[in-house]
Chains A and B, each alone.
Chain A
Amino acid sequence: MTESPIKSVVVKSSAPPAEASQTPFIEVENLSLHYGTTRALKNISLKLGEKVVTAFIGPSGCGKSTFLRCFNRMNDLIDSVHIDGVIKIGGQDIYEKQVDAIELRKRVGMVFQRSNPFPKSIYENVAYGLRLQGIKAKQEIEGRVERSLRDAALWDEVKDRLQSSALGLSGGQQQRLCIARAIAIRPEIILMDEPASALDPIATAKIEELILELKKDFTIIIVTHNMQQAARISDHTAFFYLGELIEFDRTHKVFTNPAKRQTEDYVTGRFG
């Protein structure tokens, strides 16, 4: 193996990449997370801009999904979890006592690896969250369901069968329905945990295109094992290893000239 072409550029892992030099929308300061006595995340600091796509990459068990779940306090649901440090969204510390986790999750939506539509009609899947938000006017719900399905690039495929069960859709369609459901309540941030890993290449390409469209309106953080996917869709990439943030920079930089040897080894498939 030839010597890796790492240049002597020092990139402070916590520094925001050049384009994110706008006022950071999300700020993480010294975040550590323990599962019982196991420290899963170690002193992570980073800043993310608004309406950009950030990819979290790293080998299994590196903490990227755990970190992702910190942004909507999903880890609160696990008893043994203990979190230190600060996560600010729009300047507000989301771990402050007065912050209601349910309210937070309206601002920070999530899409999971396996599509998980409710066993209800396609229409109801999207309308459900709106009703929970207290929207009652039928016309408004209809309008927002249609808009969300259009934004999720699913409308044309389902507009004639909105009352059919969501479980009858293909895997890729179910995942786009879950995205429609997430964006219906107009969150500010969408977290995606391997949203395309269970899909075939065509459905994956549709999800990727969708993400690139959605970033016009939403801030997106995506966990992916697929390096090329990260290269295709994200503006910034963070590489994690053993609970540490190793490198965080513009995606182009991470994939063509990473600053750290570990990142280079991982993105070139030489890891381990």
Chain B
Amino acid sequence: MNRHLDLEIAELKEKLLTMGSHAERAVSEAVRSLIERSDDLARKVDENDNIVDQFEVDVDEAAIHLLSKAPLATDLRFITVAMKISQNLERIADEATKIARRSLELNLEPQLKAYVDIPQMAGIAREMLKTALDAFVHKQPEKAIEVIARDKKVDEINKQFHRELSSYMIENPATITRCLNLMVVSKALERIADHATNIAEEVVYLYEARDIRHGGGK
């Protein structure tokens, strides 16, 4: 039986996916604004942040509305997970905005070094986000679990990049401003990967009713 609740849940899912694609694009454009030294792109990311913010509000409102109908089991998990996913997506977009703003500052000075680590981190983080959202759409918790393992790699690159930037600052104090900006960018990408991990964990909870956060539910 095709229930009316199913239609409303499908609408909520659709909304989340659109929100996810906006967040993905924000990350991608923010990193490009840095690599390609494009102020226009950076400003665009900053300006578009409110779109994702609005989605968060809309998703929460729809979820509260659905919760008042006393859903059970899978439906109940879906709605609570939807609220958490939207919160993580909103934070991802915030991190993208942070990167875009630092790009604007970095673009004022000559490039410190060839960017190798940042595109690599961004690539993994975006892939994690994409896979987590795909796992959500296609009901594939096993794919979501794969995402979680990749977070370590992003953490490692972030740490290594911080060490490298520290050495730049010690050698030449004139690089400090640029190094600090790059540290913020690196940290933002590390946080994006964390949020993608959170989404993946929620996807596992949604489809397997297993809470694997903080190393639990194994």
Query: What residues make up the interface of A, taking CB atoms closer than 8 Å to B?
Result: 205-206, 209, 212, 228, 231-232, 252, 255-256
Query: What residues make up the interface of B, taking CB atoms closer than 8 Å to A?
Result: 1, 3-5, 64-65, 68-70
Picked from B1, B3, B68, the residue with its CB within 8 Å of the CB of A231 is: B68
Picked from A206, A209, A231, the residue with its CB within 8 Å of the CB of B69 is: A231
A231 to B1, CA, bound (A): 20
Cβ A252 vs Cβ B4 within 8 A: no
> By DSSP majority rule, is chain B's interface helix, strand, loop, or mixed?
loop
Cβ B4 vs Cβ A212 within 8 A: yes
Q: 5 pairs across A/B with beta carbons < 8 Å? A: A205-B1, A209-B1, A228-B68, A231-B69, A252-B68
Cβ B64 vs Cβ A256 within 8 A: yes
What are the residues of chain B within 8 A of A252 when measuring CB–CB? Answer: 65, 68
A256 to B67, CA, bound (A): 9
Extra pairs beyond A209-B3, A228-B69, A232-B4 (5, CB < 8 Å): A205-B3, A228-B68, A231-B69, A252-B68, A255-B68
Cβ A256 vs Cβ B69 within 8 A: no
For the A-B complex, the count of residue pairs with Cβ-Cβ distances under 8 Å equals 23
What are the residues of chain B within 8 A of A231 when measuring CB–CB? Answer: 68-70
Picked from A206, A232, A256, the residue with its CB within 8 Å of the CB of B5 is: A232
What are the residues of chain A within 8 A of B5 when measuring CB–CB? Answer: 232
Cβ A206 vs Cβ B1 within 8 A: yes
What are the residues of chain B within 8 A of A212 when measuring CB–CB? Answer: 4
What are the residues of chain B within 8 A of A255 when measuring CB–CB? Answer: 68
Cβ A256 vs Cβ B65 within 8 A: yes
A228 to B72, CA, bound (A): 12
A133 to B69, CA, bound (A): 39
A242 to B173, CA, bound (A): 78
A261 to B52, CA, bound (A): 35
A231 to B4, CA, bound (A): 13
Chain A nearest CB: distance from B47 CB in Å?
32
A47 to B130, CA, bound (A): 49
What are the residues of chain B within 8 A of A228 when measuring CB–CB? Answer: 68-70
What are the residues of chain A within 8 A of B4 when measuring CB–CB? Answer: 209, 212, 232
A255 to B70, CA, bound (A): 11
Smallest CB gap from A202: residue in B? B1
Chain A nearest CB: distance from B69 CB in Å?
4
A255 to B4, CA, bound (A): 18
Chain A nearest CB: distance from B118 CB in Å?
44
What are the residues of chain B within 8 A of A205 when measuring CB–CB? Answer: 1, 3
A255 to B65, CA, bound (A): 9
Smallest CB gap from A254: residue in B? B68
A19 to B124, CA, bound (A): 47
A212 to B69, CA, bound (A): 14
Cβ A256 vs Cβ B3 within 8 A: no
A143 to B160, CA, bound (A): 77
A226 to B180, CA, bound (A): 59
What are the residues of chain B within 8 A of A232 when measuring CB–CB? Answer: 4-5, 69-70
Chain B nearest CB: distance from A207 CB in Å?
12
A252 to B8, CA, bound (A): 14
What are the residues of chain A within 8 A of B68 when measuring CB–CB? Answer: 228, 231, 252, 255-256
A160 to B70, CA, bound (A): 36
What are the residues of chain A within 8 A of B69 when measuring CB–CB? Answer: 228, 231-232
A237 to B217, CA, bound (A): 42
**Which 10 residue pairs across A and B have the least CB separation, nearest first?**
A228-B70, A255-B68, A232-B69, A231-B68, A212-B4, A231-B69, A252-B65, A256-B68, A256-B64, A228-B69
Smallest CB gap from A232: residue in B? B69
What are the residues of chain B within 8 A of A206 when measuring CB–CB? Answer: 1
What are the residues of chain A within 8 A of B3 when measuring CB–CB? Answer: 205, 209
Chain A nearest CB: distance from B48 CB in Å?
29
Chain B nearest CB: distance from A108 CB in Å?
25
What are the residues of chain B within 8 A of A209 when measuring CB–CB? Answer: 1, 3-4
Smallest CB gap from A206: residue in B? B1
Smallest CB gap from B64: residue in A? A256
A209 to B69, CA, bound (A): 13
A138 to B4, CA, bound (A): 36
A232 to B5, CA, bound (A): 8
A21 to B203, CA, bound (A): 41
A256 to B65, CA, bound (A): 7
